[in-house]
Chain A
Amino acid sequence: MGWSALLLVLVTLLTFLVFYVLPSADPALLRIGRHASPEQIAEVRAVFGLDEPFYTQFWIYAKDVVTEFDLGYSYYSEVAVREEIFSRLPASVSVALGAFVLWMAIALPVGVLTALKPRSRSDRAVTGLTLFFLSAPTYWLGLVALFLFARDIGRFPLVGGAGTYVALSEDPKAWFESLIWPWIVLALAFAGLYARMIGENLRDTLSQDYIRTARAKGLSERRVILRHGLRAALTPIVTLAALDLGLLLGGTILVETVFNIPGVGRYAVEAIQNGDLPAIQGTVLFGAIFIVLAILAADILYAVLDPRVRY
């Protein structure tokens, strides 16, 4: 727990440092507008503490975050960063969770099949597809998907194109349609990788002595693979999946940008383009919090799943 807090402080400090040392724009100028007089700019600097030394600024920021979870106000829109992020979180969570479910639903059966038939044609096909989708950039796959299937520009208009995201609470069907391609594009990259890992883990597991014991008991092959093989082979995968999910929950920059989904990832991109330090800080901190939570969840899951692990 201690190191989780330390990690969050370090991430925040690092982001702070990068934008303090290498500012993309003068914060005071952003705040007040382009045609301000030097006196006005100085005043803004004083009011917002921008003339304070680096460590004082960081202290003020960190104190507000810890005591009130106040992430400051956007220089650009003057809206509280916390509210901005919270309002975009459902979109990012929708993208991440849907993709996660999809990639696991693909990877699990494919992984098991390749483990049962090593070096077979299907095993090689999975290896090839994995390499393809791992090396194909997400934004490229996303654009291809849009060009092919989007209702506005697609050759085979099936689903809504970029920028058609609707909240789940408003219209579940439209929500699903707008997210199906982002899910597929995101899931493809992970599904191949996970299918390979599950396949390799299961193959290793199936050569273990306890699998021979299970067979010697006269169990069906199905039970040997599911209850004995997968039980052991999936345990390390579950913790890895928790980490990847945590990473995605903090916002998926490329997919949200390509499909124009108003999530945390796209907010981060806009913030960087605008040199909007509080917004950048907020999104980075949010991402870091999700990762720390994911690491924690992975540790707990591992201990629950593997009785040999103790805290």
Chain B
Amino acid sequence: MALLELRGLRVAFRTREGLVQAVNDVTLSLDRGRTMGLVGESGSGKTVTALTILGLTRSEQTEAAGEALFDGVDLLRLSGSELRSLRGRRIAMVFQDPLSSLHPMHRIGWQIDEAIRAHEGTSKKAARSRTVQLLRSVGIQDPEARVDSYPHELSGGMRQRVMIAIALALSPDLLIADEPTSALDVTVQSQILELLARLQSEMGMALLIVSHDLGVIAEQTDEIVVMYAGRVVEQGTRDDVIGAAIHPYTRGLLDSIPHVDGPRVAELTPIPGAPPNAVSLPSGCAFHPRCVHALASCALKVPDLALVGSDHRVACPVMAPLAVDSSNR
């Protein structure tokens, strides 16, 4: 059984302009110890998907449907206290901006101690010694002194290391990292990614990396899921998606990654147009107004996600016509 399995997950927000379908029919599964990358532009629903797993999108204005199975238990149907006992203990999350994600008025040691003591009746002293160890394991120098620092006294990279320490405090089975490097300097980004990879192999947890940057995800994921306007448009192993991308959107993302030895920025091929407004999505395939391969039929029907390889699925009847046949079978 997969550790995390989303089946037909839908998340919608009630707003003044109407119902916004942020996540639409997302199905994916992640095994223990594996790494999955969730890619898409802002507004593609990738962050909402991640937050929904932890129940952090729950509110009176939110409607979630489908299933989000964690170890066979549907997270969408758990009570608040059942969900709380999983949060931080078995499923943990690292957020995009470590400065705003850490409490500005509490010392970092206090914030890590708290994560431990929320789930275990540890004494303050025992929690503190674990906090110091955690800080050391995420690569913070002189952790005995650093525990008494406030977030604003640390560098961006250090803050994200503290966030990782909080997330890993109770050795979770699943770590969700939402744009873990987007707010950091380029030189620090690779350090944080390496740290995540190292800790993952040491602790054997599953890792779900959410990013708009295929470059971040290409490095270290086993599987990649590409989202556009709330739907999965392509998913498969890293080799499928990076090496043999089929969906025009995935190809567009790959063409817009700069390489040191590749073309200059001016010669990169951006995807024309802008991501659609979630309140009024284009009919049919939401990508068709920006797609160079679009046919008239693309505006009529939302394409099904269909198998094109052993684990490779694509939602584009133009570029993967076989897929249409397989879905009709």
- The answer to whether A308 touches B150 (Cβ under 8 A) is yes
Closest to A308 in B: B152
Chain B residues within an 8 Å CB radius of A218: 84-89, 115, 118-119
B104/A308 in contact, CB under 8 A: yes
Contacts of B101 in A (CB 8 A): 209-210, 212-213
A37 at the interface (CB under 8 A from B): no
Tell me whether B145 is interfacial, beta carbon within 8 Å: no
CA separation between A228 and B167, bound complex, in Å? 17
Q: How far is the CB of A224 from chain B (nearest CB, A)?
A: 10
Judged by a CB distance under 8 angstroms, whether A232 is at the interface is: yes
Could you say which of B80, B105, B150 has the most chain A C-beta atoms within 10 Å of its C-beta? B105
- Interface size on B (CB < 8 Å)? 29
Residues in A with CB closer than 8 Å to B152 are 307-308
* Cα separation A235 to B103 with both chains bound (whole Å): 13
Q: How far is the CA of A60 from the CA of B137 in the complex (A)?
A: 70
**What number of residue pairs across chains A and B have CB atoms under 8 A from each other?**
72
Stretch of B91-99, B194-202, B208-216, B287-295 at the chain-chain interface: B91-99
Chain B residues in 8 Å Cβ range of A214: 103
Mark contacts of A2-26 with chain B using CB atoms, 8 A cut-off: 1 yes-contact digit, 0 otherwise.
Answer: 0000000000000000000000000
Q: How far is the CB of A203 from chain B (nearest CB, A)?
A: 13
What residues of chain B lie closer than 8 Å to A169, measured between beta carbons? Answer: none
Q: Knowing A209-B95, A307-B152, A308-B150 touch, does A217 contact B104 (C-beta < 8 A)? A: no
Chain A contact residues, majority secondary structure? helix
Contact of A210 among B56, B85, B104, B167 (CB under 8 A): B104
Residue in B closest to A232 when the chains form the complex, CB atoms: B105
- CB neighbours (8 Å) of B163 from chain A are 213
- Check if A1 is an interface residue, CB within 8 A of chain B: no
Residue from the list B100, B105, B106, B114 in contact with A217, Cβ < 8 A:
B114
Question: When chains A and B are docked, how far (Å) is the Cα of A179 from the Cα of B209?
Answer: 62
A219 and B84 within 8 A (CB):
yes
- Taken together as a complex, chains A and B put the C-alpha atoms of A272 and B95 apart, in Å, by 62
Does residue B307 face the partner (Cβ distance < 8 Å to A)?
Answer: no
- In the complex, what distance in Å separates the CA atom of A32 from the CA atom of B89? 84
B102 lies within 8 A of chain A by Cβ? yes
Residues in B whose Cβ lies below 8 Å from that of A210: 100-104
Return the chain A residue nearest B112 by Cβ. Answer: A217
In the assembled complex, the CB of B148 is this many whole angstroms from the nearest CB of chain A, namely 11
A217 in contact with B103 given A209-B95, A308-B150 (CB within 8 Å): no
CA distance A306 to B101 in the complex (A): 17
Question: A217, B56: Cβ atoms under 8 Å?
Answer: no
Q: Is the CB of B118 within 8 A of A217?
A: yes
Residues of B within 8 A of A305 (CB): 105
Q: Any chain B CB within 8 A of the CB of A215?
A: yes
Q: Smallest CB–CB gap between A119 and chain B, Å?
A: 11
* Contacting residues of chain A (204-261) with chain B, CB-CB under 8 angstroms: 208-210, 212-221, 223, 228, 231-232, 235
B39 at the interface (CB under 8 A from A): no
Instruction: Determine the distance from Cα of A223 to Cα of B111 in the docked complex, in whole angstroms.
Output: 13
What's the minimum C-beta distance from A87 to chain B, rounded to whole angstroms?
43
Which residues from B are CB-within-8-Å of A208?
A: 100
A207 to chain B, nearest CB (A): 11
User: When the two chains form the complex, which single residue of B85, B86, B89, B102 contacts A213, counting CB atoms closer than 8 Å?
Assistant: B102
Among B84, B85, B103, B104, the one with the most A-chain Cβ atoms within 10 Å of its Cβ is B103
Mask, B53-68, CB within 8 Å of A = 1, is 0101000000000000
Contact A216 B97 (CB under 8 A): no
Question: Is residue B166 contacting chain A, with contact meaning CB distance below 8 A?
Answer: yes
B106 near A213: Cβ-Cβ < 8 Å: no
Contact B114 A212 (CB under 8 A): no
Q: In the complex, which of the residues B56, B95, B118, B150 contacts A219, with contact meaning CB atoms closer than 8 Å?
A: B118
Inter-chain CA distance A159–B93, complex, in Å, is 58
- Most chain B C-beta atoms within 10 Å of own C-beta, residue among A213, A214, A219: A213
Contact yes or no, B56 A215, CB < 8 A: yes
- Give the complex CA separation of A210 and B95 in angstroms: 10
Residues of chain B lying within 8 A (CB to CB) of residue A231: 103, 105-106
A307-B104 contact, Cβ under 8 Å, with A212-B56, A213-B95, A213-B166: yes
CB of A216 within 8 A of CB of B92, answer yes
Chain B residues within 8 Å of A, Cβ to Cβ: 54, 56, 80, 84-89, 92-93, 95, 97, 100-106, 114-115, 118-119, 150, 152, 163, 166-167
5 residue pairs A–B, Cβ–Cβ below 8 Å: A208-B100, A212-B101, A216-B167, A219-B114, A308-B105
> Other CB < 8 Å A-B pairs besides A213-B102, A215-B87, 12 of them?
A210-B104, A212-B56, A213-B95, A216-B56, A216-B93, A216-B167, A217-B114, A218-B88, A218-B89, A223-B118, A306-B105, A307-B105
